[in-house]
Amino acid sequence: MILAGILGIVSIFTPTIYISSEDAFIWVWNLYVSSDIVDFVQTEEVLFDLGVAATLFITIGTFVTLFSGIVSKVKDKRLNLFAIIGGVLLLIGPIIYLGGITAEEENLWEYFTVNVGSILPFFAGGIAILGGVMGILKRKS
């Protein structure tokens, strides 16, 4: 579960979208970087609201997952439900972000490309949920 938390942290600090027409990257927390501009997505754009919501879900999911992993290692106490909750939050974040921007603009994927920051939360969430479920099943056997 610590691995899932680390992947969650990495996903926050890596770009989520690449815009080929502008040769630019966008992070989930609305940082926009191109060859000549470093700025934030403007607050009146839908992408801004989706980015803030997704960042909150990913960040909270990362902290919950890390907390459960660290407590499991240090105190030898399993917090499987926390791992599952953290994993679900890690999955909800990119779903909100990618689903929201897809619904906002139909031709989006013609000039946007999904980047590592969009994919890592799915891996982190899957690892956290799998670890939590395996911990519950191990306890019952």
Q: What is the CATH number of the domain that holds 31?
A: 1.20.140.150
In the chain, % helix, strand, coil (3-state, to 5) comes to 65, 10, 25
Please identify every stretch of the chain with a pLDDT value under 50, giving residue numbers as ranges.
none
Which residue segment(s) compose the domain that 18 sits in?
2-140
| Number of domains within the chain | 1
User: Angle, to 10 degrees, between the axis of helix 46-74 and the axis of helix 116-140?
Assistant: 40
- Inter-residue contact 62 to 93 (CB < 8 Å): no
Instruction: Give the per-residue pLDDT at 53.
Output: 92
CB 98 within 8 A of CB 47: no
Q: What is the pTM of this model?
A: 0.88
